[in-house]
Amino acid sequence: MQQTNTDYSKELYRFGSFENYPTGGRSPFELARAGFYSVGQNYSVKCYFCGLVLDEIKEKPDILHRNLSPGCPFLNRHDCGNIPITVTTKGLEGLQRVRESTFAATGTSNSNGTQVTPVRSGLESLQKAKGSTFSTINDDHQVKDYEEKPVRPDLKSAEARRNLFVRLKWGGSGKQSINAMVDAGLYYTGLADCCRCFQCGGGLKQWNTYDDPIIEHIRWFPSCAYVLYRYGRNLVETVKAIFTYNDKLELTIEEIRKIEVMRRKDPTSSMASIIFKVMQEHHQEKIQHELHEHQGNQKDLALLKEENESLKRERVCCVCKTTLRNVVFIPCGHLVTCQPCGQHYKNTKLKCPTCHQNIEDIIIPFMS
């Protein structure tokens, strides 16, 4: 589902717009990285920053973009607000997000006023409602007549949620704007920086500077009907695929090529499912590499133990096999027995077990 007012300054959103893009076209990765998003009509794409519209791209998107629109602020590295994928997901690294998926419509706080008491909400029924029908969302981001009723029907309209943020004096621990929170379907509870979705009841708090409300909403509550129909299943599935294995979308050129090959071989698969497969392969390869290294280390350890045992055997008396060697036979100079065994060899006039010379005397060497 395409929305004309989506904030395509974010590369991840631009990438998500290529849900139904024909497989014969240029790579969605290249197009999104060059500032373009799909307008939903065949191969047509548009630059979010300069408005350049292209019907079909044969050349490399960034080169063609520069040739046709040299003054584009995105290409000239001006402060145009572009947010690449790695920055969009940056703040999620190590984030201890409290996944409060079942808030009440109205909550209570504990003695320090920072915790919301969770109770069951409409989220579980939403997740089980396979085949349920939902209506579209209008330009005001107001959800109309869901078959599964929202947790807070009084906050379906963007204006109602915005007013609540203002009335409760939203400050937030990060830099999320009220409009960004409202677009993500969230409203402010008035408790610390805790916000909830009016539709699924999912709660999010402890916001960091780079946290994107929409991506956070999708990441933790991907079954929410609001994000599915407001931003499209492709973006939802893409975010899920990205965060299954990693907190950053870091794909090598080789992996991007692999994605494109798979996309052309199986045009019926969603881009998100293909990304998921490639990242899964990457994850398995990483595990195999680590396992191989571990096995190599284990072999090295076994070899070291064998060497230690060999050294130990070399230092033990060759006669009794229990005591360390500590006497030297004269005149041959071999150190092969302990003192008791060496004395026995001398007294009984036995020969050196190494060179078979007569033993005239034994001495105990000083080991420094």
- CA–CA dist 135, 147 (Å, integer): 8
The per-residue pLDDT for range 318-338, each reduced to its tens digit, is 899 888 888 899 998 898 999
- pLDDT averaged over the chain? 73
What token pair was written down for 18? 């290529």
The vertex-158 CA angle with 154 and 161, nearest 5°, equals 60
DSSP 92: G
pLDDT exceeds cutoff 70 at 263: no
Select, from the ranges 30-34, 45-49, 235-239, the one with the highest average predicted confidence (pLDDT).
45-49
pLDDT class for 240, splitting at 50, 70, 90? confident
Question: Which one has a higher pLDDT value, 206 or 182?
Answer: 182
- CA–CA dist 164, 187 (Å, integer): 7
Please report the pLDDT score of residue 186 as a whole number: 96
**Kind and range of the H or E run holding 36:** strand 36-38
The per-residue pLDDT for range 149-176, each reduced to its tens digit, is 899 999 999 999 999 999 999 987 667 8
pLDDT class for 255, splitting at 50, 70, 90? low
Query: Which residues does 71 contact at the CB level (< 8 Å), separation at least 6?
Result: 50
Secondary structure (3-state) at 151: coil
Q: What is the mean pLDDT of residues 128-149?
A: 40
Q: How many residues does the chain have?
A: 368
- CA–CA dist 131, 150 (Å, integer): 17
Please report the pLDDT score of residue 152 as a whole number: 95
- CA–CA dist 54, 234 (Å, integer): 22
Please report the pLDDT score of residue 56 as a whole number: 81
Residue 116: count other Cβ atoms within 10 Å of its Cβ.
Answer: 22
The per-residue pLDDT for range 71-93, each reduced to its tens digit, is 999 998 878 888 876 544 433 33
pLDDT exceeds cutoff 70 at 189: yes
Q: Which residue has the tokens 């089980």?
A: 128
Please report the pLDDT score of residue 37 as a whole number: 93
Helices in the chain by DSSP H: which ranges? 11-16, 28-33, 61-68, 85-88, 123-128, 158-167, 178-183, 213-220, 225-231, 233-245, 253-265, 271-315, 339-347
Query: Lowest-confidence range among 22-26, 30-34, 136-140?
Result: 136-140
Question: Which one has a higher pLDDT value, 107 or 177?
Answer: 177
pLDDT class for 350, splitting at 50, 70, 90? very high
The per-residue pLDDT for range 268-324, each reduced to its tens digit, is 566 656 666 666 666 666 667 667 776 667 777 777 777 777 777 778 898 998 888
What are the beta bridge partners of residue 36? 47
String of b and e for 340-357 (b: at least 16 CB within 10 Å)?
A: ebbeebbeeeeebeeeee
| Distances from the Cα of 76 to the Cα of 31, 59, 69, 79, 246, angstroms | 17, 20, 10, 9, 31
Q: What is the mean pLDDT of residues 124-152?
A: 45
**Kind and range of the H or E run holding 196:** strand 195-197
What is Dmax (Cα atoms) for the chain? Answer: 109
